[in-house]
A and B are shown apart, each in its own frame.
Chain A
């Protein structure tokens, strides 16, 4: 990071050394602008890597995305505190998760107020998604009896991930699901659901006995136990990394295309970069739904495997 900056600074120094008053003034101005933007958390040119990183990582302030009169970015500081030495600070992504939860509560509360049998307007759209999750994801993978019982959990998972994904695409938003800690939390919940439901249905020992597939020669059993125990942890790990990587990769791609404008320092690049970024944005919209579906689908699939081990 430091090397390109040094290379970049050299021509400026030469210009100043040539004693061209205009150039020196221009250089100073450019330097000032650059410093201002770097302070705003959005550098230009050489600093594009850190700009992208700033947009996708968590932070202790909530940036509103615009500057005040003196050019300083307006950002709301968030409370930082520790409970028993554990960092429980409120961060940008925590706020976005709250926003997602409140938005979901508000949307569902408004769409289904009055408890009529046939929903109207927004309720119709949400009903399609709810019925889809119940019939195509829960009941199909887990079975009629347990599928209906577990539908609330899967619905919560689906709509929470969907809301978090979509909030990353709107201005001033941040993708909470683009934080590996958030997806790890969701994956741990899924892991617990898979194990607990398996034990509930097959009994504590019955569940662990399913680690050994039936009808195998004795000498293969130790290998199979290792493989099955590994698989037990790899499944939620893959869930976690898949969601995190998908959400992060899309945002990095959008920012990289927009960053090209600043790297090449030309407006002409924008004619190509902006449509490309828009296309990725449209793809992201699809990916937001797809990843929410995939996470829910795979969770219900694994719960189904755990409940009905013969499958």
Chain B
């Protein structure tokens, strides 16, 4: 009977791990972007745009992982 609960554990752990990865990625990205803006404030516009695009791409990978976790729960 306990084995039936394992998918929930897997989904919760997976969701958390995906967020760790995505958070680290976007955090690193934002840190570098802000550093770049601090060094060269006139480049804030293009840096900001590129930062959002990169963040969306990282977030996309994270969200695909989250969708897999939701599917584990719903299709169990």
Contact = CB atoms under 8 A, between A and B. Distances in A.
A55 interface: no
Interface string B35-76: 000000000000001001100110111011011000000100
Interface residues of A, number: 15
Contacts of B63: 241-242, 245-246, 249
Given A245-B64, A297-B49, A297-B56, 12 more contacts: A53-B74, A238-B57, A238-B64, A241-B63, A245-B63, A245-B66, A245-B67, A249-B63, A290-B52, A294-B52, A294-B53, A301-B53
Interface size class of B (residues with CB under 8 A): 10 to 19
Q: Secondary structure at chain A's binding surface: helix, strand, loop or mixed?
A: helix
A239 to B, nearest CB: 8
Interface string A270-311: 000000000000000000001001100110010000000000
A294 B56 CA distance: 7
A136 interface: yes
Interface of B: 49, 52-53, 56-57, 59-61, 63-64, 66-67, 74
13 contacts: A53-B74, A238-B57, A238-B61, A241-B67, A242-B56, A242-B63, A245-B66, A249-B63, A293-B52, A294-B52, A297-B49, A297-B53, A298-B56
Interface string A233-262: 000001001101110010000000000000
A277 to B, nearest CB: 20
